[in-house]
Chains A and B, each alone.
Chain A
Amino acid sequence: MTQGGLEKFVAYLRQNGWPIFGPVFSAEKTEEVSPFLAAHQPKSAHKDGQIYIKEIQKAEDLDLSGQLPFYSFKRFFVPEQECLFQYEKEKLDQPEKEQKAALLGMSILDLKAVNLYDQVFEKDPYYQLRRRNLLIIGYSLTPEIQGNLFEIEYEENILEHLPFDIFLVKTDKAFKVFTGSIKGQRVLEDFGYKDYQHIQYSGPVKEGKLEERMERLRDRLKNHPNPQIWEELGKICIECGKCTLACPTCFCFRIDDKPALKEGAGKRTREWDSCFYQEFSEVAGGHKFLKTTAARILFWYYHKFARIPDEFDFMGCVGCKRCAKVCPVGINIEEVLKKIENS
């Protein structure tokens, strides 16, 4: 597919009711998004702006340089707040509408996070409804090592382990096109594009072989715990929870009832929570099971590098380093992982 073809494809999608979201370079300075971040963040790849996920009108709006957007695509899959039920007195109703959206230009790193959502929310009717209404268009370029902890790069045999409907591989002047679902095939055929290859999804993990780094980190965390790492981090972490917001694989949530103005009415919501917040482990009577900052940081790392591997055989970290970028006290996941491995 040529750049011109992509332009036509974008127009086709928009005509067919798919609002398109993708990485867009924005001259909006980080200061405008968060003055605090601007003061603490190492300089971005673009000196005069950032990449954000925005709705696009034309393909040329997209930034397909392979740089990761500042925030991940998480909110399209697991929104910051969603309504589980609307209630009035004792009556509860489940909302059943979900908007269509096409996500164009998701990197392999962000697609790996989708592998996790798909597993975690396998039995969740709200997630499944939302997921059915998303068209995922992946993209082959990945960030440089500074933003790619596990040095993940495109290779054709990685595709069968990634969840996508359509995948664009950047070649010299054009894109090679793959499909990963019937939905992707239908959309391309209907658009009138046939020069694609289909990849049968074979699950998130390469058969018969677990990632060495994952096994090593899990073994260290479970069998050779080193409390010193967490005590030291506990002294500098201020429990702001920014890493959990920026992280594409952090999906902890809380469920609350939010009353409306009308008496007896309101909604039961599910929204992002953070294991760094005081209330996270608090039970009736005020007892907290995660008592210290050190315990909370360990909880965060243990989830990603021990519990998720136990549950799904892959790591709960895609290596995007967004957590390090937003950390106001400079905790760098790359260094922490090295410490765990050496413990």
Chain B
Amino acid sequence: MNNPYESQSARISFISRQTDNIKLFRFELGKKIKYQPGQFVELSLPGFGEAPFAPCGDAKENYIELCVRNAGKLTAKLHEMKVGDKVGLRGPFGNGVWPLNKYDFKKQKNLFIAVGGLGFVPLRTLILGKDDLLGSGTKVQIFYGAKSPDDMLFRHEYDRWKKQNIQLELTVDKECVGWKGCTGLVTTLFDKHEVVQNSVAFICGPPVMYRPILEKLQKLGFADEDIYLSLERRMHCGIGVCQHCAVGPYYTCKDGPVFSWAQLKTIPEAI
């Protein structure tokens, strides 16, 4: 019988430091994990446990990239690891993904993305696969908020993305030396830049940022069905059994982690 808890061995082939406590790891796999943007995998290290992470790399590649903050026992150990070391990976999990097939992004719809902190992670896959997933003419607008300029993920890639018809607007929480851009929460970007017309919204970030962004989007006339958010929850099994990630009638791991606001708006504890 198939064992959903069995992981495959994955070898670290590349590490890049993103911020003082976030690193990007690339893992080579024996058997490709074929995933869609929005899904996640469970990474484990014997003795240190297991935790869910959303891939952030190009989904076409055979390897998997995870962007991990040093935040606990498992991730601290991972941060100590070097190229050549091995971890366990299982997945992909999640049926709720960014709805790329629901809309005609190639011709009809544009994409608005609002992300904060590590919330950028699951959307990098979408940006890297933009030409296949969205179409070259699709307008993509990203509002990204981070604590400080040094906390911005993937920042060496921004220039390349801007050349690909992506409008990237940045903000940092507080004013700081050397930063000439916008300061304040992600929502302040709504006052400075016009949100791209005729678009679908994808949101991902810390829970505190969801309500203010939803308010802005609703004022702009976005329908609840056209706003998508990725939920963060504690997860153990990844397959809708252990109950940790339950949100009302849904399991974040199985039915999500990406949900439309129409699905979540009546659930009190959702965001």
Query: Chain A interface (Cβ within 8 Å of chain B)?
Result: 84-85, 87-90, 92, 94, 120-121, 123-125, 128, 222, 225, 227, 251-257, 259, 264, 266, 268, 273, 275, 280-285, 287, 289-290, 295, 299, 302-303, 306-307, 310
Contacts and interface: CB of A to CB of B under 8 A. Distances in A.
B246 interface: yes
Nearest to A87: B46
Contact of A128 (B1, B6, B72): B1
B101 interface: no
Contact of A307 (B9, B239, B249): B249
Interface residues of B, number: 39
Contacts of A124: 4, 241
28 contacts: A85-B6, A87-B46, A90-B46, A90-B86, A92-B46, A94-B3, A94-B6, A225-B268, A253-B236, A254-B244, A255-B5, A256-B49, A257-B50, A259-B47, A266-B46, A268-B44, A268-B50, A273-B236, A273-B242, A273-B243, A273-B244, A280-B244, A284-B51, A284-B72, A289-B247, A290-B269, A306-B249, A307-B249
A265 to B, nearest CB: 8
B58 interface: no
Contacts of A257: 44, 46-50
Interface string B29-66: 00000000000000010111111000000000000000
B232 A254 contact: no
Interface string B216-234: 0000000000000000111
B234 A255 contact: no
A92 to B, nearest CB: 7
Contact of A275 (B2, B243, B268): B243
Contact of A255 (B47, B69, B236): B236
B249 A310 contact: yes
Interface of A is mostly: mixed
Given A90-B86, A253-B242, A255-B5, A283 B233 contact: yes
A232 B206 CA distance: 30
B66 to A, nearest CB: 13
Contacts of A121: 241
Nearest to B48: A257
A268 B46 contact: yes
Contacts of B86: 90
B246 A307 contact: yes
B71 interface: yes
A125 B46 contact: no
A264 B44 CA distance: 14
A252 B244 contact: yes
Nearest to B236: A255
